[in-house]
Structure 1
Amino acid sequence: MAQKEVISIPSYENVNETISIVDSTSQRVAVINFKNKLISAYLLDKDFNVLESIVTKPLPNKLKSVIAHQFQNKKLSLFMNTSSNRKYATAVFDFETGNCTTHEIDFKLKKEIFFTTFSRDDKIFIVSVSKKGSQLNIYEFYKNLNEPKKTEIKIPENTFLDRFGDSVDLKDVLSDSYKNGFMVSPVTIQKNLPATIEKTRRPLKIYLTEKGFDVTVDTWLKSTFLLNVSLEDMTVDVSEFKYPKPDGFIARVKANSFLFDDNLFQIIMGSDEMLFSVFSSQTKELRKEILLKKGDEIDFRNTPIVQNGGAFESFRYLENTKQFFRKSLDADIGLSVIKKNEIYEITFGSVKEIEDPVVLYFVVGGVVGGTVSLLVRDLLDYRLTKSVEFRSLFSNKIEHLEGNVSPNLFDKIGKFTKGIKLKSETLFQFNGSYYYGHYNLDRNTYLIYKIIKD
């Protein structure tokens, strides 16, 4: 794959970690390199010329990770949580003055559990779930990042029912088991970027939308729940997509889902059968259903069944569907969807629990968190996944298509970085193109490349 070097930043001290943040309004990019003894921050224009730079001492140890950000002209505010996970603070890089300042924010969650955070329209949002009842709490932080505006979104009682017909609180729906369970950490899905099965196997997935965000829930309630949250009118709509009843399936099935466009893709697997269904997320109409039995050939796949070994080009092929079932029933299942040239590319697969790739790669400091630098975390996730999977192509009408599956963005990066000792990688989208960076130990330089489209 072709790539073009767009900037090289000298650094005579090893770069431990890098975050890149795009300001689409001003057409600028901030690149921040975290080192042992200092931090180097650069503000770049659309042609990757350095406009301003800051060299400052490391952030206080109590600041744990960047979970959101806010750009205001030449001032970048990083919204961070503290090591206790109960307090929040900001680190402000003022490229106008060349200074970096930090201060704690007088904000705590009370009788609620943190759910997610993201940035939008110069605002920072924190979303929490009340410990009792079914209520989402939306906190909006404006330019001063001090006193947030709080909005409570209540979900009607009896929206979620257990098998006895009793109402279940939202916190319990989002937990790994009913009552006394732990609330599951959600993952954020970026539309039309490859997401690994290691990521999509998670039962809670967040999808940022123009109006707010959606959540798919596949925990213990024998249904997929879809929550459509609007930040415009501060409402939530809940839809339920029931799993099939056990006739034809064992009572304990594995299940997961994925939201793309206005389609909810759902996969259910028992000991001898797998059911793949596609529903309209708006009307709940069933658009497609494929039943696969353990003894069948998978006639809707476009690639071999591959067992990935947790590294690019480390894999082996599985011979038949029975092997796919055996591996999947001993693991967590999932599926992911992207779209290329009006064709859906769907990955079906499973993965066993492995170490968190963010921990494996960001062992020094672990600054990246929340929805910051999602792309590079997805890349690292993709590189380290140990999964069993195959890919399929479908039309807009969800009809299977013949054809070859082309390499995705992460496959291409893996190809051109093969053999390079990689450190402090970054990956971001800017003006319709992708940019990849890493610290080059031989050149003592931080390099950023533009990924040229095929």
Structure 2
Amino acid sequence: MKKNCIYILFLIGFMCNSLFAQTEIASFKNFLKENSTDIKDVIPVVNTKNNDLAILIADAKNVYAYKFNDEFKLTGQLSSETKKRKYKILLGSSIYGNDYKIFLTNKSNTQFAAVSFSFNDKKNTVKEFLLPSGQTFIQTISLKNKFYIISGNKINGNVYLNYINEDGNLQYIPLDISELRLLNEKNKKVRVVDLLLPFNYSPIKKFEENTPNSIESVSETAKMYLKDDNLIISFDNNKNITQLFTVNLTNYKVSTTTFNKPLSNIKSGRKKTNSFIFDNKIAVVAATKDVLSMYILDLASGNFIKEYAASKDEEILFKNSPIIQKGGFYNGYRELEKTKKFLRKITAGKIGVSVIKNKNTYLVTLGGYVEQRTAAPMMMGGFGGIGGAIASVGSVNVNLFFNPTMFAYNSFTNTKSTQIESLFDTNFDHIKDTEVPKNIFDKIKSTPKKSDIGYTIFKYKDFYIRSDYTPSNKTYHLRKFTR
């Protein structure tokens, strides 16, 4: 009887904890929708100045825009008709007063459109534009409701920040980087634009603070971060150093920083390296088939904080999880015992490290993965017709630009990685004999949803919102998830 009571109390406590972790904060009828066409996608736009939220629901014919205040009360709505369909990729958004703009591009990132939703005037307009001659698209960034298209010029070596001003006109800010040089993988000095626009160009991935990321995504050698008012791009193409290119988005001054990597005495051809920026620190890792080393450095000063290392013949004492292998031919889960096997697997492909801070604890995930030739491309749904400007398209590129949270969430699918997880306190001392908690994405995945229609996840304030749509009664749901 006593055991049964304990079990019931435990179950009640678990249920209470689950309820606290996720709550439906709003649901509303899509009352503007009168046709029976399917919902293609839903786009959230967060006003970072006052925490208003616009939800744009797109079907094949129309887009329905609803605006809410920070208490999730409806304060405005409007709908628009389909017009054009050549712009297939969503890039980002900007907000001026009560006018919300969505930015789109074609598949080649050469033509652009700004789609405006004016909740005051109940009007929707589309304005097409091109980047100035010689500029090539690199990535996008948004800060304080202002949207920038980052571009580069291979001829003069300049980098530009393009934006649409309040009057709807394109303007750009040239960054003074003509004298800046970084090292490429062969230790040759090159221009910044040569690293931003390599021959086999693919957009740099963006990373949000304290959002879980898969080993696949963090194994990229170039990463983009937004910290305070600074745009930071890290380069790990050189196996001896990590290089940062920083742009202050308030005064547009630029700077570069260099961090030495571990295992500097080992020839670069024998090791794999990478880094990850978090909080006010940077983790820099290097590994060979024989040894692994991770530095924790102060981001501002470069001062050394901690090092953790392990050789192939010894146990990894700073891990809190088993050595885990995910995916592969059988798409399964395995635990490996030997450090030797771990090092061999993480150096067979790409290596990566990610760090999340949760209250007074840092969770470090360190590992590597091998690209799967037979794997299907990661898809996240398709867009319908925002102001007629979006056509159906796989959303890998969409979320790569617009919604890093959704991109990170989906990056955990279709994986073959080998990794360990470790817990550290605020001084980066290892917390021993402690189980690794589930991350926020694990909680979201384990919570049943209404449907896959209009399904998206985005960051709002200090928590996450998952949304989905019930087509039978045209109701849209917003559910809050906390760590």
Distance, in Å, in 1 between the alignment partners of 2:66 and 2:179 is 48
Query: In the alignment, is residue 80 of structure 1 matched against residue 111 of structure 2?
Result: no
Alignment check: 8 A CA contact 2:293 2:310 kept: yes
Partner-residue secondary structure (3-state), 1:80 = strand
Alignment check: 8 A CA contact 2:180 2:192 kept: no
Partner-residue secondary structure (3-state), 2:161 = strand
Whichever structure has more helix as a proportion of its residues is 2
Offset from partner CA, 1:392-437 (integer Å, 9 cap, x none): 011222221122221111010011138x752332223334432211
Distance, in Å, in 1 between the alignment partners of 2:256 and 2:48 is 32
Do the aligned partners of residues 155 and 268 (structure 1) sit closer, same or farther apart at CA in structure 2, a change above 3 Å counting? Answer: farther
Q: Which residue of 1 aligns with 2:5?
A: none
Q: Which residue of 1 aligns with 2:444?
A: 413
Kindly report which structure 2 residues correspond to 1:126-137, keeping only aligned pairs within 5 A, or say none. 126-132=149-155, 134-137=157-160
Distance, in Å, in 2 between the alignment partners of 1:268 and 1:356 is 30
Partner-residue secondary structure (3-state), 1:290 = strand
Query: In the alignment, is residue 235 of structure 1 matched against residue 253 of structure 2?
Result: yes
AA paired with 2:457? Answer: L
Alignment check: 8 A CA contact 1:9 1:447 kept: no
Offset from partner CA, 1:172-195 (integer Å, 9 cap, x none): 33466xxxx323421111011112
Do the aligned partners of residues 330 and 26 (structure 1) sit closer, same or farther apart at CA in structure 2, a change above 3 Å counting? Answer: same
Alignment check: 8 A CA contact 2:185 2:238 kept: no
AA paired with 1:150? Answer: I
Do the aligned partners of residues 200 and 328 (structure 1) sit closer, same or farther apart at CA in structure 2, a change above 3 Å counting? Answer: same
Query: In the alignment, is residue 171 of structure 1 matched against residue 199 of structure 2?
Result: no
Q: Which residue of 2 aligns with 1:29?
A: 53
Query: In the alignment, is residue 4 of structure 1 matched against residue 23 of structure 2?
Result: yes
Do the aligned partners of residues 161 and 18 (structure 1) sit closer, same or farther apart at CA in structure 2, a change above 3 Å counting? Answer: closer
Partner-residue secondary structure (3-state), 1:17 = strand
Count of aligned positions: 444
Alignment check: 8 A CA contact 1:89 1:102 kept: yes
Aligned counterpart for 1:386 among listed residues 399, 406, 416: 416
Alignment check: 8 A CA contact 1:249 1:270 kept: no
TM-score (norm 2): 0.83
Distance, in Å, in 2 between the alignment partners of 1:163 and 1:434 is 42
Kindly report which structure 2 residues correspond to 1:172-321, keeping only aligned pairs within 5 A, or say none. 172-174=194-196, 181-220=199-238, 222-244=240-262, 247-248=265-266, 251-309=269-327, 315-321=333-339
Aligned counterpart for 1:147 among listed residues 167, 170, 174: 170
Aligned counterpart for 2:344 among listed residues 310, 318, 326: 326
Higher deviation after alignment, 167-176 or 266-275: 167-176
Offset from partner CA, 1:218-259 (integer Å, 9 cap, x none): 114642111222122322221222345664566332111001
Alignment check: 8 A CA contact 2:368 2:418 kept: yes
Aligned counterpart for 2:465 among listed residues 431, 435, 450: 435
- Cα displacement (A) at 1:334: 0.4
Q: Give the superposed CA RMSD.
A: 2.8
Unmatched 5+ residue regions in structure 2?
Answer: 1-17, 384-391
Alignment check: 8 A CA contact 1:174 1:184 kept: no
Offset from partner CA, 1:304-339 (integer Å, 9 cap, x none): 2222339xx963322332332232122211010111
Alignment check: 8 A CA contact 2:99 2:119 kept: yes
Alignment check: 8 A CA contact 1:43 1:50 kept: yes
Offset from partner CA, 1:341-377 (integer Å, 9 cap, x none): 2221111011233568653544833463464222222
Do the aligned partners of residues 144 and 436 (structure 1) sit closer, same or farther apart at CA in structure 2, a change above 3 Å counting? Answer: same
Distance, in Å, in 2 between the alignment partners of 1:162 and 1:96 is 52
Q: Which residue of 1 aligns with 2:455?
A: 425
Do the aligned partners of residues 250 and 208 (structure 1) sit closer, same or farther apart at CA in structure 2, a change above 3 Å counting? Answer: closer
Q: In percent, how many aligned pairs have the same letter?
A: 24
Kindly report which structure 2 residues correspond to 1:63-74, keeping only aligned pairs within 5 A, or say none. 63-74=87-98
Alignment check: 8 A CA contact 2:298 2:305 kept: yes
Distance, in Å, in 2 between the alignment partners of 1:172 and 1:221 is 17
Partner-residue secondary structure (3-state), 1:154 = coil
